[in-house]
Chains A and B, each alone.
Chain A
Amino acid sequence: MTMIRLKNLSKSYKLGKEEIPILKRISLDVEEGEFLAIMGPSGSGKSTLMNILGCLDLPSSGGYELESMNMVTGQENKLADIRNQFIGFVFQSFHLLPRLTALQNVELPLIYNGWKKKERKERAMDALKKVGLEDRASFRPPQLSGGQRQRVSIARAIVNKPKFILADEPTGALDTKTGEQILSLFQELHEEGVTIIMITHDEQVAKKADRIIYIRDGELFKDRSEDAYA
């Protein structure tokens, strides 16, 4: 079943009087349960695409449907609910709140979803267990290693049982070995049926996915085109 459908989606930024196109007429279907990797050179528009997929930003034109719901006309509070309930974010630089403990960080999406304290704590603890960090629940991000921080942010991404996970270079800030641990975590989630869209620079990383698509100068390619990575 198709979960995400992008139709002729474009995004451009205004710089002074000039319109600079970043994404050009992108069409893409993502199936439920799929593990998709998006590759492309720096500045090609990967993060821009991910922001639109994550309802953090709106496209300039074109359509975006999530399970046949139109995402383009959504107003702010509705988009906040969609991000909260349907999407799990994993960022390259983790984006954890440094003053909160690991557990409190994982609890955040549940707070915004109106969960009661006790059930919230249990659910967040389960998510931390899943990423193998239950013994670090009361640690704050600065007291954790990079890999541990990324695992906390994965716990935070899955705690609300989202429809899909968006990961923007989740291994970009980690060494190869730690990166592999994070990837196997993603694979585990994938095997459980979670849909994952992952942006990466790294061919080795991308290979773990079911499907790789390439983006260059804001355009999508099904295969790696010669000059894109030359």
Chain B
Amino acid sequence: MLENIRISFQSIWGHKLRSSLTMLGVIIGIAAVIAIFAIIQGRSEELKSNLIGMGNNTVNVVFEEADMYEEEGMWGGEVTNRSAPPIKQEAIEEILTYPNVNGMSIYYEGWQEAYHLINVTHPKLLGIDERYLDLFPATMVEGREFTELDFDSYSQVALINDVAMSELFPEGDALHQTIDISGMPFKIVGIFSDAEVDSDWYYPEPTIYLPATTWPLLNGFDAPMQVAVQASSSETIQEVGTMTADRLNMDLPPYETALYQVADFERMMEEISQFDQAFAFILGGIASISLLVGGIGVMNIMLVSVTERTREIGIKKALGAKRHVILAQFLTESVVLTSIGGVIGILTGLGIAKAISVFANMPFYVSVPAISGSFIFSMLIGIVFGLLPSIKASKLQPVEALRYE
């Protein structure tokens, strides 16, 4: 067997150009599968980790009209414009003692213009509580975070990120300057960078944090609140989210029709994987066509090779080689040929996927099952399309084969 493989390599090497042209179909097919797979898989893995837990096992508990998830599916439903009644401090403290709850934050979110002199930015504005930065850490570049005093005394202070800073202060030097939001002055006490929080396929956006206690100055007392809880692991997100929603719902007045709810991740996952399956289907189509073409190429060249080596087969048979010996020889050659094609295809595909992920700024995911599957599949092509030529070779009559010139 090993001998057969060695001889196969020799004979493939002996016809370098012909062999590589033959392999091309298999190479292209496998490379396409691997590249597309790496990119799709990368996207959907990232999508999942972003959807579920925003990348850090955190989930939003949203105040919405009841049963929206049941009727509208994962993306539908409208957030109610009625704001929830204020959340009681005891509820928060109680939730923080639940198992698997790592942290919780209640914050406001909105988009509002901010000015400094003639410069303007349209940032994402967050009114954050003292626990927000524990859940979504920011890297401070300059200055400090908010202090307890800031929250308690309704200080008009702000943290801005580097993007907002570059828009408001093109010359730099933003710390301790005052910016204007809805006619209210806010003093910048810190500058942060959140590049690490967001993944690489979001554009960094200008972001400004204010103490949550100052939010009513801008938007009144009934502005809708966001509730985020962090679970200890991705497996417990759903459970933690549901427990939090249930606890918050306990405090709602009986006439309230809206409820705190958490997205149904299992359903989201299912929809993502349906999406994946659709892609896999298209992928399978592309792959099988090009691999079919590749396989036929292999069969063709193996038939040529059998004809060319008719005399060799005759000699071997005259010397006592049985059918299976000849069959094994040609089958090995065909499998070695397509396997080499498979390996080259896998490497090419990974290279293409890597290149795309670098240039298009997309995630790159190396899937071991996809690689080993492709390799096994390329061997299979060798067996399937090598079988007919090999059988033909093994059935040659020694007299006819020896007579062949």
Contacts and interface: CB of A to CB of B under 8 A. Distances in A.
A95 B319 CA distance: 11
B399 A113 contact: no
B166 to A, nearest CB: 70
Contact of A99 (B10, B314, B321, B323): B10
A80 B320 contact: yes
B268 interface: no
B354 interface: no
Nearest to B11: A99
A81 B320 contact: yes
Contacts of A51: 399
B398 interface: yes
Interface in B298-347: 311-312, 314-323, 325
Interface string A118-131: 00000000000000
A161 to B, nearest CB: 13
B311 A95 contact: yes
Contacts of A156: 319
A95 B317 CA distance: 12
Contacts of A96: 315
A109 B322 CA distance: 11
Interface in A130-173: 156
B75 to A, nearest CB: 65
A54 B399 CA distance: 10
Contacts of B14: 99
A83 B10 contact: no
Contacts of B325: 112
B319 A108 contact: yes
Contact of B320 (A57, A91, A99, A112): A112
Interface string B228-261: 0000000000000000000000000000000000
A76 B396 CA distance: 11
A51 B321 CA distance: 16
B402 interface: yes
A97 B398 contact: no
A84 interface: yes
A56 B320 contact: no
A96 B311 CA distance: 10
A51 B318 CA distance: 10
A69 to B, nearest CB: 16
A89 interface: yes
A56 B321 contact: no
B10 A84 contact: no
A52 to B, nearest CB: 9
Contact of B402 (A56, A97, A113): A56
Nearest to B324: A77
A76 B325 CA distance: 13
A95 B397 CA distance: 16
Contacts of B399: 51, 56-57
B318 A56 contact: yes
Nearest to B325: A112
Interface string A83-97: 111000101000111
A73 B398 CA distance: 17
Given A95-B311, A99-B10, A108-B316, A80 B402 contact: no
Contact of B321 (A54, A85, A89, A112): A112
B323 A83 contact: no
Given A56-B317, A83-B319, A156-B319, 5 more contacts: A77-B323, A80-B317, A95-B318, A97-B312, A99-B11
14 contacts: A56-B317, A80-B320, A80-B322, A83-B320, A84-B320, A85-B320, A89-B319, A95-B311, A95-B402, A97-B315, A97-B316, A108-B321, A112-B316, A113-B320
Interface of A: 51, 54, 56-57, 76-77, 80-81, 83-85, 89, 91, 95-97, 99, 108-109, 112-113, 156
The 3 nearest A-B residue pairs measured at CB: A84-B320, A112-B320, A57-B399
